[in-house]
Structure 1
Amino acid sequence: MKLYYSPGACSLSPHIALLEAGLPYDLVKVDIRAKKLENGDDYLKINPKGQVPALALSSGEIVTEGPVIVQMIADQAKDKNLAPARGTAERYKLQEWLNFITTELHKNFSPLFSPVLPDDTKAFFKDRLMTKFKYIESQLAGRDYLMGKEFTVADGYLFVMLAWAERLNVDLSGLPNLMAYKARLAARPKVQEALTKEGLSKAA
Structure 2
Amino acid sequence: MKLYYTPGVCSLAPHIILREAGFDFSLEKVNADTKVTDAGRNYLTVNPNGYVPALEIEPGVVLTEGPAIMQYLADQAPEARLAPAAGTLARYQLQSWLNFITSELHKGFSPLFKPGMPAEAKTAFKEQLAARFDHVERHLSKQDYLMPDGFSIADAYLFVVTGWSGFVGIDMQAWPAIGAFRKRVEARPAVQAALIGEGLLKKAA
Fold shared per TM-score above 0.5: yes
Q: Which stretches in structure 1 are left out of the alignment for 5+ residues?
A: none
Partner of 1:88: 88
Partner of 1:196: 196
Q: CA deviation at 1:141?
A: 2.2
Q: CA deviation at 1:149?
A: 4.1
**Is 2:134 the partner of 1:142?**
no
- Aligned partner of residue 86 in structure 1, secondary structure: coil
CA contact (8 A) 2:31 2:37 kept: yes
Moved over 3 A (4+): none
Write the mapping of 1:137-176 to structure 2, written as runs, cut at 5 A: 137-176=137-176
Q: CA deviation at 1:139?
A: 1.1
- The one-letter amino acid paired with 1:94 is L
- Aligned partner of residue 27 in structure 2, secondary structure: strand
Q: Quick one: distance in 2 between partners of 1:138 and 1:71?
A: 25
Deviates more, 1:6-15 or 1:160-169: 160-169
CA contact (8 A) 1:5 1:52 kept: yes
Write the mapping of 1:169-188 to structure 2, written as runs, cut at 5 A: 169-188=169-188
Partner of 2:39: 39
Q: CA deviation at 1:154?
A: 0.3
CA contact (8 A) 1:35 1:43 kept: yes
Give the TM-score normalised by structure 2.
0.95
Q: Taking every aligned residue pair, what percent have the same amino acid on both sides?
A: 51
CA contact (8 A) 2:28 2:39 kept: no
Q: CA deviation at 1:165?
A: 1.1
Deviates more, 1:7-16 or 1:32-41: 32-41
- The one-letter amino acid paired with 2:124 is F
Give the TM-score normalised by structure 1.
0.96
Q: Quick one: distance in 1 between partners of 2:92 and 2:39?
A: 40
Q: CA deviation at 1:167?
A: 2.5
The 3 A distance-change label for structure 1 pair 59 and 89 is: farther
Partner of 1:63: 63
Q: Quick one: distance in 1 between partners of 2:58 and 2:121?
A: 44
Q: CA deviation at 1:12?
A: 0.2
CA contact (8 A) 1:29 1:38 kept: yes
Partner of 2:117: 117
- The one-letter amino acid paired with 2:72 is M
